[in-house]
A and B are shown apart, each in its own frame.
Chain A
């Protein structure tokens, strides 16, 4: 079988042309399409940094070696990985290479006349012949006109065609996919996304320092933040007493934008909009408002401290850091909105509303390390270099005293997590999406067909042709013939 095949020299241009033809061929496009489906799978099975960074961190701690290899193949960032990008970029190049020439061709075809009537109509679908009078072509023209066919009059015969919308829809659909891709990339290059926890009664000012997390697209700078302020007046969360599941979250806010102040309400499905920027109500929790005094009775710290919820009943953890006390004091805290004591695991919350709130804590003294320059989480206290002073718990209004001072739980306020997103590309993606559905509808439901009629020596011949075997031609020709025979 070893037969030498002589391969002609292609040269650079020839090779490029060959590669382009291969890439834009339908078979390659199909393989790329299937490949993209398969390539999307690992991202749903392996935790992803964009959807679940905590799970990725856990995975890395648990399986460091495996994680190293995963990271080498970008398996924690599948949808931004070089190989995933390669597939969709190639797919879109292939798509453009296929769709653009077809669009030009289709544009020409739409302005051209229908093709001439074939010589032998008898070989086509629904062929029939019958005797009739001389005005038959007028009746045929009238029927074609009524049914909006495009007609080529060849004297003794008519060639009519309909259903260009099918190809138009097909091309529009594919072009709209390009628009969606442009919208998505535009949004990720020029957008921004951030989150901030705001206590009820406090104000959020839209500057970078107000954010807990903030990330910009590659090409947008922090100058692009829309100047607005949101004061959180009130927040109410309702829960179902039977299942403890949340029923409704609602926040009342006072918004200042462009020098105008107005009040608004926010809900989960009802964000605030400032141009391209939208502000979402994303999560909620509690901030114990505490006063910490030193041994002399002077206030060393006072204010709300956001605690992070750990479960559906909003058992929350947090840290209270008092660098101004001498010695410095820190609290590792746990807050429960509805306290219930269990045998094993200390306090748990049995309902997410503030029915019987309680703050439990351990007290630590020593250098909190806030000036060391190493960034710390505000929700955690590193106790490795600290000395334990004691354990305590307080309910609202109560004060707990220890040798170095005291802590008072004044009250508890809810906090809300605002998610602030700017996406200048989403309107393009939306338009693309709408056009895609419309294009699909006309390309999958549209029928392209031709009908011919020719005068012969003993009457007329009629025949038709439906592209892609579209159904319904039979009924249409029946209707046509009835009209020709003057039966309706």
Chain B
């Protein structure tokens, strides 16, 4: 029974990967053909000539891309749930399980933000990075579904890890937006945007968006760290012990706190803020990859 569910989970994950691949191709097509969209009007903004394009022809491809992404998200969700049923615990026992749940959170963060902001230009990147994450997970990190080690048997596993994974998904999305900002800023400093970048929102919008994402999820990350401390108190006998994972969670927290202060009270905008945002996000990624794979300490479980 246990293995049946694990197999079902794997099929779901593979199917989700197929859909993300389709979504990726559709996004790529859309980006490629949007460049050749017919011109509707020209206008000048300062010295720059701004072309307005008609995207009707690629609209359908774009919709397919998003629809495939949503379906992929649902299948991946089913895969994560099936994995949980197979192991009889929330599927956060090893790095394979973290990775598929992380990919789910990242897609979820993108789709949720898509409801409010026009973020479809990010879809190409999102589908690609989710594909890469799932590919790495299923080839390099895969472990058979297994029961949890005693220290993980706690309700706090659900609370602490859910909030950490969701925070991570949104932080990474903010990172991608900040990276897009830096790239576009360079492009714009050399002249008008090339056609394929026309639909990416203005620099101000990107700048504001990455801030909004961070400000939105920072309390959740704080909560994740505190929930972890409460759990550590009942499992390990101390709420804070400078374990490598804890140390890096603290560094991430401090880095984002610095980012929020730099923006709100010191008035950092644009390039400097984007770099700081990317630095803070990298500490999160570093924590996930380095501490899980090469690190020592109490957060390394079950082989990976």
Contact = CB atoms under 8 A, between A and B. Distances in A.
Interface of A: 26-27, 29-30, 33-34, 36-37, 40-41, 43-44, 48, 50-52, 55, 78-79, 184, 193, 240, 242-243, 245-249, 267-271, 278, 280, 282, 419, 421, 423, 426, 429-430, 433-434, 436-437, 440-441, 444-445, 468
Given A436-B222, A440-B218, A44 B150 contact: no
Interface string B157-183: 000000000000000000000000000
B219 A440 contact: yes
16 contacts: A48-B242, A50-B241, A51-B297, A78-B242, A184-B240, A245-B302, A246-B149, A268-B235, A269-B150, A269-B156, A270-B234, A430-B230, A433-B230, A441-B219, A444-B260, A468-B264
A271 B302 CA distance: 23
Interface string B124-151: 0000000000000000000010111111
Nearest to B242: A79
A267 B150 contact: yes
B296 A55 contact: yes
Nearest to A37: B254
A242 B237 contact: no
B235 A269 contact: yes
B218 A40 contact: no
B242 A280 contact: no
B251 A26 contact: no
B233 A240 contact: no
Contacts of B291: 44
A268 B153 contact: yes
A421 B154 CA distance: 20
Contacts of A40: 247, 250-251, 254
Given A37-B255, A44-B247, A248-B153, A433 B229 contact: yes
A44 B235 contact: no
Interface string B207-245: 000000001101100110010011101111111111110
Given A40-B250, A270-B234, A419-B237, A51 B242 contact: yes
Interface string B246-275: 011011001101101110111000000000
Contacts of A445: 219
Interface in B272-304: 283, 291, 295-297, 302
B237 A421 contact: yes
Contacts of B247: 40-41, 43-44
Contacts of A44: 242, 244, 247-248, 291, 295
A163 to B, nearest CB: 15
Complex A-B, nearest 9 residue pairs according to Cβ-Cβ distance, in ascending order: A37-B254, A433-B226, A268-B150, A440-B219, A44-B247, A280-B237, A269-B154, A44-B244, A421-B237
Contacts of A419: 237
Contacts of B237: 193, 271, 278, 280, 282, 419, 421
A460 B235 CA distance: 64
B265 A26 contact: yes
A319 B297 CA distance: 28
A246 B301 CA distance: 11
B296 A52 contact: yes
A376 to B, nearest CB: 27
Nearest to B236: A280
B274 to A, nearest CB: 16
A51 B243 contact: yes
Contacts of A41: 247, 251
A437 B254 contact: no
A282 B298 CA distance: 12
Please indicate which of the listed interface residues A27, A240, A268 has the most CB atoms of chain B within 10 Å of its own CB. Answer: A268
Nearest to A55: B296
B261 A29 contact: yes
Contacts of A426: 233, 239
B238 A421 contact: yes
Contacts of B215: 444
B244 A437 contact: no
Contacts of A248: 150, 153
B146 A30 contact: no
A433 B230 CA distance: 10
B282 to A, nearest CB: 12
Contacts of B250: 37, 40
Nearest to A98: B265
B258 A34 contact: yes
B17 to A, nearest CB: 26
A437 B215 CA distance: 13
Contacts of B223: 437
Contact of B151 (A55, A268, A421): A268
A247 B147 contact: yes
A162 B261 CA distance: 23
A269 B153 contact: yes
Nearest to A419: B237
A419 B241 CA distance: 14
Please indicate which of the listed interface residues A55, A79, A240, A433 has the most CB atoms of chain B within 10 Å of its own CB. Answer: A433
Contact of A30 (B226, B234, B242, B266): B266
Nearest to A432: B226
Contacts of A43: 242, 247
Given A30-B265, A269-B153, A282-B236, 18 more contacts: A26-B266, A40-B250, A40-B251, A43-B242, A240-B147, A243-B302, A245-B149, A245-B302, A246-B149, A247-B149, A248-B150, A268-B150, A269-B150, A271-B237, A423-B238, A433-B229, A434-B226, A444-B215
A243 B146 contact: yes
Nearest to B260: A444
A30 B233 contact: no
Contacts of B153: 248, 267-269
A198 to B, nearest CB: 16
B94 to A, nearest CB: 10
A384 to B, nearest CB: 32
B171 to A, nearest CB: 15
Please indicate which of the listed interface residues A184, A430, A437, A445 has the most CB atoms of chain B within 10 Å of its own CB. Answer: A437
Contact of A429 (B144, B148, B239): B239
A27 B223 CA distance: 27
A50 B243 CA distance: 9
A33 B146 contact: no
B240 A271 contact: no
A37 B153 CA distance: 31
A247 B222 contact: no
